[in-house]
Amino acid sequence: MPEVYGILGRLISREWVLKVEDMLSMAGVDISPETFTGMVILFVFGLPIPIFIFLSKAMSDLAIILTIGVMVLDALIVYVLLRMRIDNRSKQIEEVLPDFLQICSANVRAGMSIERALWFAARPEFGLLSEEIANTTRRTFGGEPFTQALKKLAKKFESRQLSRTINLLIEESSSGGEVATLLDKCAWDARQVQILHKEISEMMLMYVIFIVFASCIGAPMLYGLSYQLISATNNIWADINIQNPQGFPKVGVMSLIQPKPPSISTNDFYKFSIIATILVTFSASFIVAVINTGSWINGFKYAPFFIGAGLTIFFVVTMVFSLVFASLFV
């Protein structure tokens, strides 16, 4: 079966395969890019085929639309999962990077070479970073050039802090500079970035609360109230039409002002409210994700909770106001 995936993966241009290889490396997925590409092709194009076959006989246009929609959704799922894994790995190493660099600096000041300093600084409490550093130093001890091993390490994470630190470390070690001092400065900069992120998150807390309230509570409540108002207005006009089929008499001022029933039906506004609630909460999840984590991709984590909360508030408010309006217009 892997051979079949590899054959499918080779149908894609080499440029795209290299991009997939970089993403897999940053995501920590140990699989060849051709095999992964073939699996994605089969997942994206294979699953919609039964839908198209089932619907093509009766509803050809709908079959095409649903097939394309499922393909796009499948591709989006694969991309989002990869991006989430990449961001999660980057976040893990950036959290422990300052402490790791300080230990490396202490080891260098104690007289160790930079390779041994990295090796002894790779402690278990640093988790993923320790594993990657250990693999890097093993390759270095096995004969791979130190700079080349560090460059491979930088490509395994989508982290500006790590890439910047490794680039400076390569330049400083090749020029014979003070590596320990450089590591201390990089550790201090990484620590300051963490503190700055926390301060920004605390400053934006009120905005996050406002966005969550407006999207998940305020907007669904207004949609529910508007729906009941339109429903009550339509019921009133229905009673007026039954009692007076000719409408209002055109006498005096009323000849210029002729009241008319609303042109929006309750069913249309109900569908609009549901779609609007989903769009508002979906957009709010990405805004909150950018504020809290700095990455929009994490909005997909928040979206199900935001959409679920918004729809729940809408349905509850609609039900409550329907009971209230029913008691008023009995």
Tens digits of residue pLDDT in 79-122: 888 888 898 888 889 889 999 999 998 888 888 888 888 888 88
Kindly tell me if the per-residue pLDDT of 306 is higher than 90: yes
Rounded CA-CA distance 181/300 in Å is: 41
Higher pLDDT, 328 or 184: 184
Percent of the chain with pLDDT over 70: 83
How far is the first Cα of the chain from the last one, in angstroms, to the nearest whole number? 68
Please tell me the predicted confidence (pLDDT) of residue 109.
87
Confidence of residue 220 (pLDDT cuts 50, 70, 90): very high
The lowest-confidence range among 45-59, 62-76, 141-155, 181-195 is: 45-59
What's the CATH code of the domain at 95?
Answer: 1.20.81
- Tokens encoding 20: 């997939």
What's this model's pTM, rounded to 2 decimal places?
Answer: 0.77
Please tell me the predicted confidence (pLDDT) of residue 2.
58
212 plus 317 within the same structural domain? yes
- 46 and 263 in contact (C-beta within 8 Å)? no
Please tell me the predicted confidence (pLDDT) of residue 17.
80
113 plus 188 within the same structural domain? yes
- The stretches of 176-265 forming alpha helices (DSSP H) are 179-203, 205-213, 219-243
Rounded CA-CA distance 277/289 in Å is: 18
Please tell me the predicted confidence (pLDDT) of residue 316.
93
Higher pLDDT, 297 or 241: 297
**149-187 burial by CB neighbour count: b if 16+ within 10 A, else e?**
bbebbbebbbbebbeebbebbbebbeeeeebbebbbebb
Write down the number of H helices and E strands in the chain. Answer: 14, 0
Last residue of a domain, one of 49, 73, 88: 88
Please tell me the predicted confidence (pLDDT) of residue 43.
79
Last residue of a domain, one of 88, 104, 120: 88
Higher pLDDT, 131 or 66: 131
Please tell me the predicted confidence (pLDDT) of residue 146.
83
Confidence of residue 249 (pLDDT cuts 50, 70, 90): low
Please tell me the predicted confidence (pLDDT) of residue 314.
93
Last residue of a domain, one of 35, 68, 88: 88
172 plus 270 within the same structural domain? no
Confidence of residue 311 (pLDDT cuts 50, 70, 90): very high
CA 275 from chain center: how many Å? Answer: 20
Please tell me the predicted confidence (pLDDT) of residue 297.
87
CA 316 from chain center: how many Å? Answer: 28
117 plus 231 within the same structural domain? no
Higher pLDDT, 209 or 2: 209
Tell me, yes or no, whether 124 lies in a domain. Answer: yes
Count: domains in the chain: 3
Tell me, yes or no, whether 72 lies in a domain. Answer: yes
Higher pLDDT, 196 or 14: 196
54 plus 168 within the same structural domain? no
Q: Which of 3-7, 10-14, 200-204, 322-326 has the highest mean pLDDT?
A: 200-204
* Full residue range of the structural domain in which residue 149 is found: 90-196
Tell me, yes or no, whether 242 lies in a domain. Answer: no
CA 189 from chain center: how many Å? Answer: 27
Tell me, yes or no, whether 245 lies in a domain. Answer: no
Confidence of residue 211 (pLDDT cuts 50, 70, 90): very high
Kindly tell me if the per-residue pLDDT of 214 is higher than 60: yes
Tens digits of residue pLDDT in 143-197: 888 888 888 888 888 888 888 888 888 888 777 667 888 888 988 998 998 888 8
Burial class (CB within 10 angstroms; exposed 0-12, middle 13-18, buried 19+) of 280 = buried
